[in-house]
């Protein structure tokens, strides 16, 4: 599923048939074809890999993926997608128990020749991200012009499903007989109706990982992987802490000797915080780390881009026993108390400072990227990704996953991670707590008011940076030196 038309290439009246992989999308298409006479296309060219049998059962219209739209298709374009939402078009969203979806998707990929671990599927380290991230991104229960269906509805409440589909699409059913389960022919991956294939149960470790990452969303949807008492259906903010605790860490991500030395300088400035210090780096740089205990632990990772885009893997690489982190670029130095940042992260999920270049669309031509992703440039805020306080809730992990996915989609056409994080906020409707610039002062000519708590610059900390409590006269710093207002 690598070749696909961009969303704006489809007719304006397109209705997305959206789901996480292996959630009943093909069976929904079979219902639309057999019960309403409606063919459907797919966002992905050669989606069925030439399986004529399945194509016949679901009314698949292959030409649509190649930009050929027949007159009947144009009247009501129904298009399968496993992507995260990129626009506000009408949609039918099908959800399935996340455990079953992840297990089925893993077996499908393995049968397709992919060497992938089941835990990678649970954690969302693959093409379509995490199960709960996908659900939260589409938000089908409150998204406008969206029909929300469960896979269980398709199989256990069929008559009601027909009524709801007819009303949503404004079409009449031509048959009230459920289509047969999708049949498999031959060996290899198949588009079987979910539930037809039995898989071994998840191990205790896999259950624990799934429950930690997806338990909250499972509970909201009425699925429980653990006894209900273990998962709170309410999404109340965690209690505020005055100081970070043992489950907190400062985190740096870098590679190469020069950046390792910068990270060491930055890490020394965090010693007073009393939290762990985690370095994420590649194998070659890990061998250069001195055994002096400055870093509490070193995580060895593989980086695919070799530039700032690799920072978007942060959510996948944080050791699982931390629930709150302070991510710091290597050119940062902590100068003061950061309690507010940790407190606000625990209340809001993420606490962050706007970038000095705060206009997202004007950041080195990022408006072109926004249009490529079907986002209208409207003066959206850009945040600085060099200092991020994160409380790693399921929602925050979904945001970090979307950051990663956006970087992968666009790639080196725009090799800066920062605007993609801001775009992830915007696309998922996530509002971080906005810290004042004293928590990420970059010395790019912006005003400096009061005591600066984090200096973020390759230049040394100016001797007169802090100590002036008054807002007037204003102070400004550029290239490490104070400049006239």
261: nearest Cα among 281, 233, 275: 281
Task: Give the CATH number of domain 248-435.
Answer: 3.90.550.10
pLDDT tens for 93-133 read 999 999 999 999 998 888 888 888 998 899 888 878 889 88
* Predicted local confidence at residue 197, as pLDDT: 52
Q: Mean pLDDT across the stretch 166-195?
A: 72
Please tell me what DSSP assigns to residue 482.
E
Cβ atoms of residues 432 and 351 within 8 Å: yes
For 224-277, how does the pLDDT look when each residue is reduced to its tens digit (9 = 90+)?
A: 654 333 333 333 344 433 456 668 999 999 999 999 999 999 999 999 899 999
CA atoms within 13 A on the CB side of 418: 23
The pLDDT score that the predictor gives to residue 227 is 39
| Ordered DSSP codes for 23-92 | SSHHHHHHHHHHHH---BEESBTTTTTT-HHHHHHHTB-GGGGGT---HHHHHS-EEEE-SPP-S---EE
Report in angstroms the alpha-carbon separations of 142 from 15, 138, 173, 185: 17, 9, 26, 39
Contacts of 279 (CB under 8 A, 6+ apart): 251, 252, 254, 260, 263, 267, 289, 295, 297, 298, 299
CA atoms within 13 A on the CB side of 147: 21
Cα separation values, 311 from 34, 247, 301, 407, 447, Å: 47, 22, 11, 10, 28
Tell me the whole-structure pTM to 2 decimals: 0.59
Q: Give the model's pLDDT for residue 246.
A: 67
Whether the link from the prior residue into 468 is cis, omega within 30° of 0, is no
248-435 and 1-236 share a CATH fold: no
pLDDT of residue 113: 87
> Residue 459 has what pLDDT?
94
Q: What average pLDDT does the chain have?
A: 87
Q: What is the pLDDT of residues 46-94, one digit of tens each?
A: 888 888 888 999 999 999 989 999 999 999 999 999 998 888 999 999 9
Answer for the pair 174, 166: CB distance below 8 angstroms, yes or no: no
d(CA 343, CA 340): 5
- Per CATH, the homologous superfamily of domain 1-236 is P-loop containing nucleotide triphosphate hydrolases (3.40.50.300)
Instruction: List, edge to edge, every strand of the sheet that includes 475-478.
Output: 444-448, 475-478, 481-483
The count of other CB atoms within 10 Å of the CB of residue 325 is: 26
Per-residue model confidence (pLDDT) at position 112: 84
Top pLDDT among 219 and 28 is at 28
Domain definitions of the chain by residue range: 1-236, 248-435, 439-483
């Amino acid at each position: 599923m690598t070749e696909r038309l961009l969303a704006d290439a489809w007719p304006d009246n397109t209705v997305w048939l959206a789901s996480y992989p292996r959630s009943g999308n093909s069976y929904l298409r079979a219902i639309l074809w057999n019960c309403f006479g409606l063919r459907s296309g797919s966002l992905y060219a050669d989606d069925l890999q030439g399986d004529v049998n399945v194509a016949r059962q679901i009314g698949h219209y292959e030409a649509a993926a190649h930009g050929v739209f027949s007159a009947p298709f144009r009247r009501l374009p129904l298009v399968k997608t496993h992507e995260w939402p990129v626009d506000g078009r009408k949609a039918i969203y099908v959800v399935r128990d996340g455990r079953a979806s992840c297990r089925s998707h893993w077996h499908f990929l393995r049968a397709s020749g992919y060497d992938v671990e089941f835990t990678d599927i649970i954690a969302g380290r693959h093409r379509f991200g995490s199960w709960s991230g996908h659900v939260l991104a589409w938000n089908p229960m409150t998204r406008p012009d969206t029909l929300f269906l469960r896979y269980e509805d398709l199989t256990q409440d069929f008559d009601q499903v027909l009524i709801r589909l007819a009303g949503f699409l404004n079409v009449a059913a031509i048959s009230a007989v459920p289509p047969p389960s999708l049949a498999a022919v031959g060996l290899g991956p198949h588009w079987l109706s979910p539930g037809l294939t039995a898989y071994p149960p998840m191990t205790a470790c896999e259950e624990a990982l799934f429950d930690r990452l997806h338990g909250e969303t499972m509970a909201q949807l009425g699925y429980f992987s653990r006894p209900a008492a273990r998962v709170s259906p309410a999404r109340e903010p965690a209690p505020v802490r005055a100081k970070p605790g043992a489950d907190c860490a400062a985190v740096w991500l870098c590679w190469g000797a020069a950046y390792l030395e910068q990270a060491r300088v930055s890490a020394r400035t965090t010693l007073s915080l009393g939290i762990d210090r985690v370095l994420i780096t590649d194998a070659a740089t890990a061998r250069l780390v001195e055994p002096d205990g400055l870093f509490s632990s070193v995580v060895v990772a593989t980086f695919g881009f070799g530039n700032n885009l690799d920072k978007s893997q942060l959510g996948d690489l944080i050791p699982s026993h931390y629930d709150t982190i302070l991510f710091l670029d290597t050119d940062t130095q902590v100068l003061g108390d950061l309690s507010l940042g940790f407190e606000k992260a625990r209340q809001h999920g993420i606490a962050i400072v706007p970038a000095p270049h705060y206009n997202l669309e004007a950041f080195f031509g990022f408006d072109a990227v926004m249009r490529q992703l079907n986002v209208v440039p409207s003066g959206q805020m850009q945040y600085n990704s060099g200092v991020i306080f994160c409380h790693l809730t399921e929602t925050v992990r979904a945001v970090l996953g979307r950051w990663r996915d956006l970087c992968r989609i666009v790639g080196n056409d725009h090799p800066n991670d920062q605007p993609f994080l801001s775009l992830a906020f915007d696309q998922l409707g996530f509002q971080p707590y906005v810290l004042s610039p004293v928590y990420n002062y970059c010395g790019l000519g912006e005003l400096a008011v009061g005591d600066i708590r984090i200096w973020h610059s390759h230049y040394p900390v100016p001797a007169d940076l802090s100590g002036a409590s008054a807002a007037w006269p204003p102070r400004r710093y550029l290239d490490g030196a104070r400049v006239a207002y």
